[in-house]
Chain A
């Protein structure tokens, strides 16, 4: 097994997170209607819980990519997607 490290050795561990963020922004701009701050907080909280349940993808070995140890890791792609959607909503749909 590989020691936990802060930064990933290979780019594949973080590229997925970037893709999720970018696509989240893209689809976030398609949302309409406003959301209260509480709602945003709730969704973000739920997404963190979901991220813990989904875990980081296999063969990721760094903290930045959400890997902490064999039993506990975070799917940062999921959180990135949620954050991306919120950012996208700010761009277009947030008002109205």
Chain B
């Protein structure tokens, strides 16, 4: 896209189209005001106390957990594709001389000009940021935390190290490690669907919380399978909390949700740090081999 294409008649059309879109969206949002249908959400809220204390975690990672698996995949694929654009995994047909691949070069930036105070405080800040990322991760089921946020905070620590110290980043993550941890993360998330699939036939059924076969909620018709106690204890008990609420006390567990978040965090850490690393230093297959 060169900017020339947007001058003249095309530009006018684009502006008009954007205005139509703006008017359409804003009028319909105004009309929705006060008319929003509640739909399925009351049902979710009714079930909330039997699950994670953080309602949002139950929505994102349990009821709609499979959506989030594919969303996590968007980040993974984003990293895969960004790094491919820089040069990792460019393919050529045997014996065919195509146009040469566009050669990326590493970004030139100089860390020697940075203030010595910044360098002195860099390491403690990075350590505290990583610890904060882990805190946010462990808060997935209880507060507004989660794997994605953990990954983003972690990668900001990584980027900080890269800016302050260049190649001598105290948080020394190799490309291989990042690719592996990203892949492991997405696989953990994907494979956590397996226990539910094998016992009940439903992929990613939360065997730890086990709302539907344990008899916690009455009036359920049709699920013949019963989750074995051992699975319920294995995935559920480590995360069980005593929820003291105005309408009663519930010993609830988020089940596989905290574990899913660990997978997601690994995936996001791998993906975003890899993007930072490769965008700054480029990708060189020969260099990778020699290490």
Contacts and interface: CB of A to CB of B under 8 A. Distances in A.
The yes or no verdict on A and B being binding partners is yes
Interface of A: 1-2, 9-13, 15-17, 19-20, 23-24, 27, 30-33, 35, 39, 42-43, 46-47, 50, 54, 57-61, 75, 77-78, 81-82, 84-85, 93
Given A33-B170, A46-B128, A47-B128, A19 B138 contact: yes
A81 B130 contact: yes
Contact of A11 (B123, B127, B240): B240
14 contacts: A15-B238, A19-B262, A24-B130, A31-B127, A31-B171, A32-B168, A46-B124, A57-B142, A58-B53, A60-B241, A61-B242, A77-B135, A78-B134, A84-B134
A81 B238 CA distance: 18
B131 A82 contact: yes
A96 to B, nearest CB: 10
Contacts of A39: 123-124
B244 interface: yes
B128 A31 contact: no
Contact of B253 (A9, A12, A54): A12
Give the bracket for the number of chain B residues in contact with chain A.
35 or more
Contacts, number: 115
A59 B134 contact: no
Contact of A77 (B123, B134, B170): B134
Given A31-B172, A57-B142, A43 B127 contact: yes
Given A57-B142, A59-B53, A77-B138, A10 B131 contact: no
Contacts of B124: 39, 42-43, 46
A27 B170 CA distance: 11
B63 interface: no
Given A31-B171, A58-B142, A20 B242 contact: no
Residue of B135, B137, B242, B258 ringed by the most chain A CB atoms within 10 A? B135
Contact of A59 (B137, B237, B242): B242
B239 interface: yes
Interface in B79-93: none
Given A30-B177, A33-B123, A1 B262 contact: no
A59 B142 contact: yes
B244 A43 contact: no
A46 B127 CA distance: 11
B70 interface: no
A12 B241 contact: yes
A78 B168 contact: no
Given A19-B258, A27-B130, A33-B123, A11 B242 contact: no
Quick one: which of A61, A81, A84 has the most chain B CB within 10 A? A81
A40 to B, nearest CB: 9
Contact of B134 (A12, A23, A93): A23
B14 interface: no
A65 to B, nearest CB: 10
Given A39-B124, A81-B131, 11 more contacts: A15-B238, A23-B137, A32-B168, A46-B128, A50-B128, A50-B132, A59-B244, A61-B242, A77-B135, A77-B139, A78-B135
Nearest to A61: B242
